[in-house]
Structure 1
Amino acid sequence: MKSFLLTIAAVQILHCSGIPSPKDALRASVIKLNRITETTNLCGITRRRVKDIYRTGKLSYKVDLTFSVKETVCSKNSGLEFDDPSCRFCSKKTAEEGLCRSRVEYFADELMDIDVQCRGLKTVDSKSGSFESTENSIEEHNDDSRGRH
Protein backbone atom coordinates (compact mmCIF):
# COMPACT_ATOMS: atom_id res chain seq x y z
CA MET A 1 0.00 0.00 0.00
CA LYS A 2 2.84 2.36 0.87
CA SER A 3 4.51 1.89 -2.55
CA PHE A 4 1.15 2.50 -4.28
CA LEU A 5 0.77 5.83 -2.47
CA LEU A 6 4.35 6.79 -3.31
CA THR A 7 3.70 6.00 -6.99
CA ILE A 8 0.57 8.17 -7.03
CA ALA A 9 2.47 11.00 -5.32
CA ALA A 10 5.29 10.77 -7.88
CA VAL A 11 2.82 10.90 -10.79
CA GLN A 12 1.11 13.96 -9.29
CA ILE A 13 4.43 15.72 -8.79
CA LEU A 14 5.49 15.04 -12.38
CA HIS A 15 2.09 16.04 -13.75
CA CYS A 16 2.12 19.30 -11.77
CA SER A 17 5.76 20.07 -12.48
CA GLY A 18 4.76 23.34 -14.11
CA ILE A 19 6.15 22.61 -17.58
CA PRO A 20 3.27 23.31 -19.95
CA SER A 21 2.14 20.94 -22.65
CA PRO A 22 2.87 22.23 -26.18
CA LYS A 23 -0.22 20.36 -27.39
CA ASP A 24 -2.43 22.24 -24.91
CA ALA A 25 -0.78 25.55 -25.83
CA LEU A 26 -1.42 24.92 -29.52
CA ARG A 27 -5.04 23.99 -28.92
CA ALA A 28 -5.61 27.13 -26.82
CA SER A 29 -3.95 29.24 -29.54
CA VAL A 30 -6.20 27.88 -32.31
CA ILE A 31 -9.31 28.28 -30.17
CA LYS A 32 -8.41 31.93 -29.61
CA LEU A 33 -7.57 32.38 -33.29
CA ASN A 34 -11.00 31.08 -34.24
CA ARG A 35 -12.59 33.62 -31.88
CA ILE A 36 -10.73 36.59 -33.35
CA THR A 37 -10.67 35.86 -37.08
CA GLU A 38 -13.07 37.34 -39.58
CA THR A 39 -13.77 33.97 -41.24
CA THR A 40 -17.24 32.49 -40.77
CA ASN A 41 -15.81 28.95 -40.58
CA LEU A 42 -13.39 27.41 -38.15
CA CYS A 43 -9.72 27.19 -39.08
CA GLY A 44 -7.87 23.91 -38.53
CA ILE A 45 -4.16 23.19 -38.15
CA THR A 46 -2.18 22.10 -41.21
CA ARG A 47 1.37 22.38 -39.77
CA ARG A 48 2.83 23.12 -36.34
CA ARG A 49 6.15 23.68 -34.64
CA VAL A 50 7.14 24.36 -31.06
CA LYS A 51 9.76 27.07 -31.28
CA ASP A 52 10.60 27.31 -27.59
CA ILE A 53 9.41 26.58 -24.07
CA TYR A 54 11.16 28.63 -21.44
CA ARG A 55 10.85 29.51 -17.79
CA THR A 56 10.15 33.15 -17.05
CA GLY A 57 9.95 32.84 -13.26
CA LYS A 58 9.77 30.28 -10.48
CA LEU A 59 6.27 29.14 -11.50
CA SER A 60 5.89 30.75 -14.92
CA TYR A 61 6.59 29.60 -18.47
CA LYS A 62 6.10 30.81 -22.01
CA VAL A 63 5.51 28.59 -25.03
CA ASP A 64 6.33 30.00 -28.47
CA LEU A 65 4.65 28.25 -31.40
CA THR A 66 4.35 28.64 -35.14
CA PHE A 67 1.57 26.96 -37.06
CA SER A 68 -0.34 27.11 -40.31
CA VAL A 69 -4.12 27.03 -40.52
CA LYS A 70 -6.70 26.54 -43.23
CA GLU A 71 -10.42 27.20 -43.18
CA THR A 72 -12.63 24.15 -42.63
CA VAL A 73 -16.18 23.43 -43.77
CA CYS A 74 -17.49 23.82 -40.20
CA SER A 75 -19.19 27.08 -39.30
CA LYS A 76 -18.07 28.86 -36.14
CA ASN A 77 -21.72 28.65 -35.05
CA SER A 78 -21.86 24.85 -35.49
CA GLY A 79 -20.88 24.11 -31.90
CA LEU A 80 -18.08 21.84 -33.16
CA GLU A 81 -14.40 22.14 -32.30
CA PHE A 82 -11.82 22.89 -35.03
CA ASP A 83 -10.36 19.38 -34.72
CA ASP A 84 -13.68 17.53 -35.00
CA PRO A 85 -13.30 14.76 -37.63
CA SER A 86 -16.25 16.15 -39.61
CA CYS A 87 -14.49 19.53 -39.99
CA ARG A 88 -12.46 18.74 -43.10
CA PHE A 89 -10.63 21.50 -44.93
CA CYS A 90 -12.42 23.63 -47.55
CA SER A 91 -11.50 23.24 -51.19
CA LYS A 92 -8.22 24.90 -52.10
CA LYS A 93 -9.79 27.62 -54.27
CA THR A 94 -12.05 29.09 -51.60
CA ALA A 95 -10.27 28.41 -48.31
CA GLU A 96 -8.68 31.12 -46.20
CA GLU A 97 -5.17 30.21 -45.02
CA GLY A 98 -2.77 31.74 -42.55
CA LEU A 99 0.72 31.43 -41.12
CA CYS A 100 0.53 32.06 -37.40
CA ARG A 101 2.66 32.46 -34.35
CA SER A 102 1.59 32.48 -30.76
CA ARG A 103 3.03 33.00 -27.33
CA VAL A 104 1.18 31.26 -24.53
CA GLU A 105 1.95 32.25 -20.95
CA TYR A 106 1.44 29.97 -17.96
CA PHE A 107 1.69 30.61 -14.23
CA ALA A 108 1.48 27.74 -11.72
CA ASP A 109 0.08 25.36 -14.35
CA GLU A 110 -2.67 27.84 -15.28
CA LEU A 111 -2.96 29.44 -18.71
CA MET A 112 -2.65 33.19 -18.19
CA ASP A 113 -2.44 34.79 -21.64
CA ILE A 114 -2.41 33.91 -25.33
CA ASP A 115 -1.06 36.23 -28.01
CA VAL A 116 -1.84 35.02 -31.54
CA GLN A 117 -0.90 36.75 -34.79
CA CYS A 118 -1.48 35.40 -38.29
CA ARG A 119 -0.36 36.47 -41.71
CA GLY A 120 -3.07 35.90 -44.30
CA LEU A 121 -6.11 36.20 -42.03
CA LYS A 122 -8.04 39.24 -40.91
CA THR A 123 -8.87 39.55 -37.24
CA VAL A 124 -11.48 41.51 -35.33
CA ASP A 125 -10.15 44.21 -33.02
CA SER A 126 -11.93 43.29 -29.80
CA LYS A 127 -11.89 46.87 -28.46
CA SER A 128 -13.44 48.63 -31.43
CA GLY A 129 -15.11 45.75 -33.23
CA SER A 130 -13.25 46.75 -36.39
CA PHE A 131 -11.25 44.46 -38.62
CA GLU A 132 -7.48 44.49 -38.64
CA SER A 133 -5.26 42.85 -41.21
CA THR A 134 -2.26 41.04 -39.82
CA GLU A 135 -0.62 40.48 -43.20
CA ASN A 136 2.72 41.98 -42.17
CA SER A 137 2.79 41.14 -38.50
CA ILE A 138 5.02 38.08 -38.62
CA GLU A 139 8.76 38.05 -38.93
CA GLU A 140 9.96 34.59 -39.79
CA HIS A 141 13.13 33.42 -38.11
CA ASN A 142 14.62 30.18 -39.34
CA ASP A 143 16.83 29.09 -36.47
CA ASP A 144 18.16 25.64 -37.25
CA SER A 145 20.04 25.48 -33.94
CA ARG A 146 16.79 24.56 -32.16
CA GLY A 147 15.41 21.09 -32.63
CA ARG A 148 11.89 20.41 -33.78
CA HIS A 149 9.58 19.06 -31.10
Structure 2
Amino acid sequence: MKSFLLAIAAVQILHCSGVPSTKHALRASVIKLNEITEITNLCAITGRRVTNTYRTGKHSYNVDLTFSVKETICSKKSGMEFDTPSCRFRPKKIGEKGFCKSRVAYFANKVADVDVLCEGLKTIDSESDSLESSENSFEVKSKRTQSFSNENIVDSRWH
Protein backbone atom coordinates (compact mmCIF):
# COMPACT_ATOMS: atom_id res chain seq x y z
CA MET A 1 0.00 0.00 0.00
CA LYS A 2 2.88 2.34 0.87
CA SER A 3 4.53 1.84 -2.54
CA PHE A 4 1.19 2.43 -4.29
CA LEU A 5 0.79 5.78 -2.53
CA LEU A 6 4.38 6.73 -3.38
CA ALA A 7 3.72 5.89 -7.05
CA ILE A 8 0.58 8.06 -7.08
CA ALA A 9 2.51 10.92 -5.45
CA ALA A 10 5.30 10.62 -8.03
CA VAL A 11 2.83 10.72 -10.92
CA GLN A 12 1.15 13.81 -9.47
CA ILE A 13 4.49 15.57 -9.00
CA LEU A 14 5.55 14.82 -12.59
CA HIS A 15 2.15 15.86 -13.93
CA CYS A 16 2.28 19.18 -12.08
CA SER A 17 5.95 19.85 -12.77
CA GLY A 18 5.18 21.57 -16.06
CA VAL A 19 7.28 19.24 -18.26
CA PRO A 20 5.61 19.54 -21.68
CA SER A 21 4.20 16.64 -23.64
CA THR A 22 6.41 15.82 -26.62
CA LYS A 23 3.32 14.59 -28.50
CA HIS A 24 1.75 18.02 -27.99
CA ALA A 25 4.97 19.72 -29.15
CA LEU A 26 5.03 17.64 -32.34
CA ARG A 27 1.39 18.49 -33.06
CA ALA A 28 2.08 22.22 -32.54
CA SER A 29 5.07 21.95 -34.90
CA VAL A 30 3.09 20.32 -37.72
CA ILE A 31 0.24 22.80 -37.33
CA LYS A 32 2.79 25.65 -37.66
CA LEU A 33 4.39 23.93 -40.66
CA ASN A 34 1.03 23.68 -42.39
CA GLU A 35 0.54 27.42 -41.83
CA ILE A 36 3.83 28.34 -43.47
CA THR A 37 4.08 25.94 -46.42
CA GLU A 38 3.31 27.17 -49.89
CA ILE A 39 1.53 23.97 -50.95
CA THR A 40 -2.28 23.93 -50.81
CA ASN A 41 -2.65 20.57 -49.04
CA LEU A 42 -1.89 19.60 -45.46
CA CYS A 43 1.31 17.77 -44.59
CA ALA A 44 1.26 14.87 -42.12
CA ILE A 45 3.99 13.12 -40.14
CA THR A 46 5.89 10.16 -41.57
CA GLY A 47 8.61 9.99 -38.90
CA ARG A 48 9.62 11.82 -35.73
CA ARG A 49 12.24 12.08 -33.00
CA VAL A 50 12.56 14.24 -29.90
CA THR A 51 16.12 15.52 -29.85
CA ASN A 52 16.07 17.49 -26.59
CA THR A 53 13.72 18.66 -23.82
CA TYR A 54 15.12 21.10 -21.30
CA ARG A 55 14.14 23.73 -18.78
CA THR A 56 14.84 27.33 -19.75
CA GLY A 57 13.40 29.03 -16.67
CA LYS A 58 11.27 28.45 -13.59
CA HIS A 59 8.10 27.82 -15.62
CA SER A 60 9.50 27.39 -19.12
CA TYR A 61 10.78 24.53 -21.25
CA ASN A 62 11.93 23.99 -24.81
CA VAL A 63 11.28 20.84 -26.81
CA ASP A 64 13.48 20.25 -29.88
CA LEU A 65 12.22 17.83 -32.51
CA THR A 66 13.09 16.47 -35.91
CA PHE A 67 10.37 15.03 -38.10
CA SER A 68 9.59 14.15 -41.67
CA VAL A 69 6.34 14.96 -43.43
CA LYS A 70 4.53 14.21 -46.63
CA GLU A 71 1.71 16.00 -48.39
CA THR A 72 -1.79 14.56 -47.90
CA ILE A 73 -4.84 14.61 -50.16
CA CYS A 74 -6.61 17.05 -47.78
CA SER A 75 -6.75 20.70 -48.71
CA LYS A 76 -5.76 23.27 -46.10
CA LYS A 77 -9.10 24.96 -46.80
CA SER A 78 -11.05 21.78 -45.95
CA GLY A 79 -11.02 22.54 -42.22
CA MET A 80 -9.67 19.05 -41.52
CA GLU A 81 -6.76 18.30 -39.22
CA PHE A 82 -3.53 16.83 -40.63
CA ASP A 83 -3.99 13.66 -38.56
CA THR A 84 -7.58 12.96 -39.63
CA PRO A 85 -7.69 9.31 -40.78
CA SER A 86 -9.24 10.26 -44.12
CA CYS A 87 -6.27 12.54 -44.93
CA ARG A 88 -4.20 9.89 -46.67
CA PHE A 89 -0.83 10.66 -48.21
CA ARG A 90 -0.71 11.70 -51.84
CA PRO A 91 0.83 9.19 -54.27
CA LYS A 92 4.64 8.95 -54.12
CA LYS A 93 5.35 10.68 -57.42
CA ILE A 94 2.98 13.58 -56.74
CA GLY A 95 3.21 14.37 -53.02
CA GLU A 96 5.71 16.86 -51.60
CA LYS A 97 8.05 15.63 -48.82
CA GLY A 98 10.15 17.42 -46.26
CA PHE A 99 12.50 16.99 -43.33
CA CYS A 100 11.98 19.47 -40.51
CA LYS A 101 13.49 20.66 -37.25
CA SER A 102 11.44 22.53 -34.72
CA ARG A 103 11.72 24.12 -31.33
CA VAL A 104 8.59 24.52 -29.25
CA ALA A 105 8.88 26.91 -26.31
CA TYR A 106 6.51 26.42 -23.38
CA PHE A 107 5.73 28.83 -20.58
CA ALA A 108 3.42 27.83 -17.71
CA ASN A 109 2.34 24.64 -19.56
CA LYS A 110 1.24 26.58 -22.65
CA VAL A 111 2.90 26.88 -26.05
CA ALA A 112 4.62 30.25 -26.15
CA ASP A 113 6.38 29.96 -29.52
CA VAL A 114 6.95 27.46 -32.32
CA ASP A 115 9.80 27.70 -34.82
CA VAL A 116 9.96 25.28 -37.73
CA LEU A 117 12.66 24.99 -40.40
CA CYS A 118 12.20 22.52 -43.23
CA GLU A 119 14.19 21.14 -46.09
CA GLY A 120 12.35 20.03 -49.23
CA LEU A 121 9.19 22.13 -48.89
CA LYS A 122 8.56 25.63 -50.12
CA THR A 123 7.59 27.91 -47.27
CA ILE A 124 6.52 31.48 -46.87
CA ASP A 125 9.43 33.45 -45.40
CA SER A 126 7.83 35.01 -42.34
CA GLU A 127 10.47 37.74 -42.06
CA SER A 128 9.96 39.21 -45.53
CA ASP A 129 6.50 37.82 -46.47
CA SER A 130 7.91 36.48 -49.71
CA LEU A 131 7.97 32.95 -51.01
CA GLU A 132 11.28 31.20 -50.81
CA SER A 133 12.48 27.65 -51.26
CA SER A 134 12.86 26.06 -47.86
CA GLU A 135 15.96 24.28 -49.11
CA ASN A 136 17.68 27.66 -49.39
CA SER A 137 16.07 28.88 -46.17
CA PHE A 138 17.17 25.78 -44.25
CA GLU A 139 20.73 26.14 -45.47
CA VAL A 140 21.03 29.80 -44.44
CA LYS A 141 19.28 29.42 -41.08
CA SER A 142 21.13 26.27 -40.10
CA LYS A 143 24.44 28.09 -40.49
CA ARG A 144 23.24 30.74 -38.04
CA THR A 145 21.67 28.38 -35.50
CA GLN A 146 24.29 25.66 -34.99
CA SER A 147 22.84 22.32 -33.83
CA PHE A 148 19.57 21.79 -32.02
CA SER A 149 21.15 19.83 -29.19
CA ASN A 150 23.44 22.73 -28.30
CA GLU A 151 21.83 25.17 -25.86
CA ASN A 152 24.12 28.03 -26.96
CA ILE A 153 22.01 29.01 -29.94
CA VAL A 154 23.06 32.03 -31.99
CA ASP A 155 19.72 32.82 -33.64
CA SER A 156 17.65 34.82 -31.11
CA ARG A 157 14.40 33.22 -32.34
CA TRP A 158 15.48 30.02 -30.56
CA HIS A 159 15.55 31.61 -27.07
TM range (shorter): 0.7 to 0.9
Matching of residues 130-141 of structure 1 within 5 Å: 130-136=130-136, 137=138
Partner in structure 2 of residue 89 of structure 1 = 89
Partner in structure 2 of residue 57 of structure 1 = 57
Q: Shift in Å at residue 16 of structure 1?
A: 2.7
SS of the equivalent of 1:56 reads strand
Partner in structure 1 of residue 75 of structure 2 = 75
In the alignment, the residues of structure 1 paired with residue 66 and residue 24 of structure 2 have an alpha-carbon distance, to the nearest angstrom, of 14
SS of the equivalent of 1:15 reads helix
Determine which structure has the larger helix proportion and give its number: 2
SS of the equivalent of 1:135 reads helix
Q: Shift in Å at residue 37 of structure 1?
A: 0.2
Query: What is the aligned length?
Result: 136
In the alignment, the residues of structure 1 paired with residue 32 and residue 15 of structure 2 have an alpha-carbon distance, to the nearest angstrom, of 25
Q: Shift in Å at residue 56 of structure 1?
A: 0.9
Matching of residues 1-149 of structure 1 within 5 Å: 13-136=13-136, 137=138
Residue by residue, what CA displacement relative to the aligned partner does 1:89-146 show, whole Å, maximum 9, x if unpaired?
A: 00000100000000000111111000000000011123543102221416597x9xxx
User: 1:67 is aligned with what amino acid?
Assistant: F
In the alignment, the residues of structure 2 paired with residue 53 and residue 9 of structure 1 have an alpha-carbon distance, to the nearest angstrom, of 23
Query: What is the RMSD computed on CA atoms of the aligned residues?
Result: 2.3
SS of the equivalent of 1:19 reads coil
Percent identity between matched residues is 69
**Structure 2: any 5+ residue segments left out of the alignment?**
1-7, 150-159
Tell whether the 8 Å contact from 1:16 to 1:109 is kept in structure 2 after alignment.
no
In the alignment, the residues of structure 2 paired with residue 106 and residue 122 of structure 1 have an alpha-carbon distance, to the nearest angstrom, of 27
| Segments ≥4 residues shifted beyond 4 Å | 8-13, 138-141
In the alignment, the residues of structure 1 paired with residue 9 and residue 49 of structure 2 have an alpha-carbon distance, to the nearest angstrom, of 32
**Structure 1: any 5+ residue segments left out of the alignment?**
1-7, 144-149
In the alignment, the residues of structure 2 paired with residue 50 and residue 83 of structure 1 have an alpha-carbon distance, to the nearest angstrom, of 19
Tell whether the 8 Å contact from 1:66 to 1:99 is kept in structure 2 after alignment.
yes
SS of the equivalent of 1:46 reads strand
If the length of structure 1 is used for normalisation, what is the TM-score?
0.82
Partner in structure 1 of residue 157 of structure 2 = none
If the length of structure 2 is used for normalisation, what is the TM-score?
0.77
In the alignment, the residues of structure 2 paired with residue 44 and residue 51 of structure 1 have an alpha-carbon distance, to the nearest angstrom, of 19
SS of the equivalent of 1:32 reads helix
User: 1:113 is aligned with what amino acid?
Assistant: D
